[in-house]
Amino acid sequence: MAKKLILLIHTGGTISMAQDQTGAVIPGKENPIAEQSAQVSDYANLIVESPFTLPSPHITPEHMLQIKKLIEKYYLDSGIEGVVITHGTDTLEETAYFLDLTLRLSIPVVLTGAMRSSNEIGSDGLYNLISSIRTACCDEAYGKGVLVVLNDEIHTAVNVTKTHASNVSTFQSPQYGPIGIVTKGGVVFHHTPKLDLKYSLQEPSKKVVIIKAYAGMDSRLFTSLSELGFDGVVIEALGQGNLPPGTVEGIQSLIKENIPIVLVSRCFNGIAQDVYGYEGGGRHLKEMGVIFSNGLNGQKARIKLMIGLAQSCDHQFISNMFK
């Protein structure tokens, strides 16, 4: 069988770093995972690009858009049959979801990373890279949206999240689980994901902030947001979607200024819903005009709201995005 043409994009992160003599993990002059790319050439014909080399806390929506445009360029110019992106794990899920919402391609697009740098015992970078390339070469991976592959598991961009600060099995999909696994014998999918709509984005210019709710919270943070020039707000609310009563005045002021507020739960599992009717409860907030997200976590709701506001500031349009 002829090997597939895969675009391999290196962007930095732990997978591209090494541990120095003091124990600090830092980027070096050379990217060790890029040097190891030859070891995966048995699985695919590779086009290798390194548009930038950054730890993932340095990644911005502008970098995400750069990756998207690079993929589209090679798809049109070279007829690539799949994409693998190496990325730092801290914001990997945000880049994956950004691409999932904006790429209109059916070819497999897979993001991967590492929790241990290249010279640490048990380094997982090369293994994850090989698993990701095998997934990108799999016919069954077509049309499944952007995928995240680490630790032998295949997750969807919409559901996956980093759940542990250092464990190699950090990437999980709470409530849903992986949609497939990578075995020594092959790549196996056991679920077909429900895909989201795709959106156009020329420039990620809209500013969206995430605020986490806490006991005794008041309105001061909310009333300052319009002065700071934010275009939208995501709130990680308490429980099923509730806020302390002291926040209500600030929420009302933002809604009057047509600044959309999307609400998610700060809980690890579950979905925010308009259940409670007391002041600051979910029912009260929804009646005020707060938008409830259907199961996204805060960081992905921010990405979606940012992209949505680039399409339209209409409240009904934004609300429909999160149904």
Q: Which residue has the tokens 């020039």?
A: 229
Q: Which residues contact 213 (CB under 8 A, 6 or more apart)?
A: 235, 236, 237, 238, 243, 244, 247, 266
> How many C-beta neighbours within 10 Å does residue 2 have?
5
Burial code (b: 16+ CB inside 10 Å, e: under 16) for 226-260 equals beeeebbbbbbbbbbbbbbeebbebbeebbeeebb
* Cβ–Cβ < 8 Å for 52, 46: no
User: Which amino acid is present at 9?
Assistant: I
Distance CA 41, CA 224 (A): 53
| Helix pair angle (61-78, 92-102), 10° resolution | 50
Asked if 9 contacts 51 with a C-beta cutoff of 8 angstroms, the reply is yes
Q: Which of 14, 89, 135, 156 is catalytic?
A: 14
Tokens of 144: 């499944």
Q: What is the DSSP string of 62-128?
A: HHHHHHHHHHHHHHHHH--SEEEEE--SSSHHHHHHHHHHH----S-EEEE--SS-TTSTT--HHHH
Query: Residue 233 is inside which H or E element, if any?
Result: strand 232-237
Phi/psi of residue 182, each to 5°? -110, 120
First CA to last CA distance, the chain: 43
The CA distance from 33 to 17, in Å, is: 8
Active site (annotated) includes residue 14: yes
User: 109-112 and 146-150 as β-strands: parallel, antiparallel, unpaired?
Assistant: parallel
Q: Are 222 and 260 contacting, i.e. CB atoms less than 8 angstroms apart?
A: no
Catalytic positions are 14
